[in-house]
Amino acid sequence: MALSFRSPRPAVEPSPSPAPGSAPRLDATLATLGRHASALGQGAAEVRGVVDDTLLAVQRQHEALQQLGQGLAAVCAAQQRIVAGSTQSQHTTETAAQALQQLAGEVQAIAAALRLVSESAQEITQVALNTRLVAFNATVEAKRAGEAGRGFAVVADAVKDLAGRVEATSKRIVGSVQQLDARIERLREELTPQESGQAQGIHAAMAGIDRDVAAMAVAAQESEAVAKRLDGQAHALQGELARTQGGLQRALQHADGFLTMSEQLIETIAESGVRTDDSPYIEAAQGAAAEIAALLEGALRQGQISPEDLFSERYQPLPGSDPQQHLAPFSALAEQLFPAVQERLLQLSDKVVFCIAVDRNGYVPMHNRKLSQPQRPGDPLWNTANSRWRRIFNDRTGLASARNTEPFLLQTYRRDLGGGQYMVLKECAAPIQVRGRHWGGVRLAYKF
């Protein structure tokens, strides 16, 4: 959150001497005006806190919508890749179907060639059969010829035997060709679409793949369209949130203006010398600042700390702390000296919430003892409420109090107690001057 600082308060012009008897009435009027200004400040602090919370919520929603937009863009890109892949898959299945058609033609050509082989084998079988008949007749005639036909009979027997073997071989060829033809026919049927238009076998599988890929592409296109619509709505909502954010920023500025106005009015009344409800707290804060300044100057004189370390801005983070804690070169000295003053001021009134000394950057080396508990590991909620020491509070209120060099500074703000709990407080700050240098300030916070 951006820090805002008040403009310098205008000097109080001396007023003409009041008429006799009018001073008490004027003081009473100013005191009443101060109470009204205090009530205005309380309301402005409440409004500012609510507006600030709403602004943070809107910022988180805006960031969430940005992340949603990025996710939707990634979804659209993924869907586009799916559509492109589906188109390529469809092209591949079409190519495969064409290849199957070509393969079916080749199978039909093979089947035709095998039928030719079968026909030739059958012709050979017939020739072998005829040859056997001729050889048989020749054998008969050779026997009739007696001794003269013996040699011819031997030849006829050999021819008859050879023809038998050729016939047997031809029949085996025909049988094998018929089996192969049956198998090729089944393959051809698998590869060739039916005349009824009903695909089966491998064509049915290819058709199923094609349908699935097409359905995938349609689903991806529909999903992409939905994602684009959502992306458009998210961008429109982002625009609305941006306008709301701008309005909340302006409301926050106006709330800051009312808050600053009420604080300056209360300070002006207090500076006039009129006793108000804030006067005891202003005097107590100024007295505490003077005491702590004296303690620090005494530590310098006694050599307990060097000026360099006392005014150091080296803040060493404590590992594992949540919220983040720091150690400074003067932390140990503050833990030793500050409680004597800070704890006593808690007894000023039951309205006092805390009294702490901070350096000019809002660093709290030692809080009140009840709020300076060791942190519990892994419990930031408890730590926020109970371990407020060694932390840097550089918010609007904290930094303004730390860097104030006027005799006093009155502020009104909403304090975060952790766990969604808040309290509207008033705070008086008085500067701590050590050897003429501004070290920081005392912050005395109290309830309305």
CATH number at residue 362: 3.30.450.20
Residue 445 has pLDDT above 80, yes or no: yes
Distance CA 173, CA 166 (A): 10
The CA dihedral of 40, 41, 44, 46, to the nearest 10 degrees, is -110
pLDDT per residue as tens digits for the range 364-408: 999 999 999 999 999 999 999 999 999 999 998 899 999 999 999
Residue 443 has pLDDT above 90, yes or no: yes
48 lies in a domain? yes
- Better-scored residue on pLDDT, 288 or 258: 288
End position of a domain, from candidates 212, 228, 261: 261
13 lies in a domain? no
Give percent of the chain above pLDDT 70.
66
Structure tokens at 424: 């509207």
* Terminal C-alpha separation, the chain: 26
The predicted pLDDT at position 206 comes to: 65
pLDDT per residue as tens digits for the range 89-104: 667 777 776 776 777 6
Regarding whether 246 and 379 lie in a shared domain, the answer is no
Rounded to an integer, the average pLDDT of 342-358 is 97
Residue 297 has pLDDT above 60, yes or no: yes
Rounded to an integer, the average pLDDT of 192-205 is 60
20 lies in a domain? no
Residue 279 has pLDDT above 70, yes or no: yes
The predicted pLDDT at position 143 comes to: 74
The predicted pLDDT at position 13 comes to: 45
CB 440 within 8 A of CB 290: no
Residue 195 has pLDDT above 80, yes or no: no
Centre a 10 Å sphere on the Cβ of residue 384 and count the other Cβ atoms it contains.
17
Regarding whether 150 and 88 lie in a shared domain, the answer is yes
The predicted pLDDT at position 328 comes to: 98
Distance CA 224, CA 236 (A): 18
How confident is residue 215, by pLDDT bands cut at 50, 70 and 90? confident
DSSP designation for 443: E
The reply to whether omega before 323 is within 30° of 0 (cis) is: yes
269 lies in a domain? no
CATH number at residue 95: 1.10.287.950
Regarding whether 104 and 183 lie in a shared domain, the answer is yes
The predicted pLDDT at position 430 comes to: 98
The CA dihedral of 215, 220, 223, 225, to the nearest 10 degrees, is -110
Distance CA 8, CA 268 (A): 12
- What are residue 207's phi and psi, to 5 degrees? -65, -40
The predicted pLDDT at position 11 comes to: 43
Determine the structural domain holding residue 341 and report its residue range.
275-446
Number of domains within the chain: 2
Structure tokens at 17: 């001497």
Regarding whether 325 and 376 lie in a shared domain, the answer is yes
Place of tokens 């179907």: 97
Distance CA 257, CA 235 (A): 33
268 lies in a domain? no
The predicted pLDDT at position 115 comes to: 72
Rounded to an integer, the average pLDDT of 282-291 is 97
- Better-scored residue on pLDDT, 255 or 166: 166
Instruction: Of 39-48, 117-126, 158-167, 288-297, give the lowest mean pLDDT range.
Output: 39-48
Regarding whether 250 and 300 lie in a shared domain, the answer is no
Regarding whether 183 and 290 lie in a shared domain, the answer is no
Regarding whether 291 and 195 lie in a shared domain, the answer is no
Regarding whether 318 and 434 lie in a shared domain, the answer is yes
The predicted pLDDT at position 238 comes to: 72
Regarding whether 279 and 256 lie in a shared domain, the answer is no
368 lies in a domain? yes
Rounded to an integer, the average pLDDT of 401-420 is 85
How confident is residue 214, by pLDDT bands cut at 50, 70 and 90? confident
Regarding whether 238 and 90 lie in a shared domain, the answer is yes
End position of a domain, from candidates 230, 261, 292: 261
Distance CA 366, CA 338 (A): 7
How confident is residue 60, by pLDDT bands cut at 50, 70 and 90? confident
DSSP designation for 412: E
pTM listed for this prediction: 0.54
CB 71 within 8 A of CB 307: no
Nearest to 354 by CA among 389, 326, 328: 389
In angstroms, the Cα distances linking 22 to 25, 166, 203, 435 are 5, 151, 111, 44
End position of a domain, from candidates 198, 228, 261: 261
25 lies in a domain? no
How confident is residue 233, by pLDDT bands cut at 50, 70 and 90? confident
3-state SS, 182-196, equals: HHHHHHHHHHCCCCC
Instruction: Of 136-150, 245-259, 266-280, give the lowest mean pLDDT range.
Output: 245-259
Regarding whether 353 and 231 lie in a shared domain, the answer is no
Regarding whether 353 and 225 lie in a shared domain, the answer is no
243 lies in a domain? yes
- Better-scored residue on pLDDT, 276 or 36: 276
Give the rounded distance of the alpha carbon of 122 from its chain centre: 81
Place of tokens 């307990």: 304
Tell me the pLDDT of the chain averaged across its residues.
78
The predicted pLDDT at position 192 comes to: 66
CB 414 within 8 A of CB 423: yes
Cβ contacts of residue 171 below 8 Å, gap of 6+?
A: 121, 125
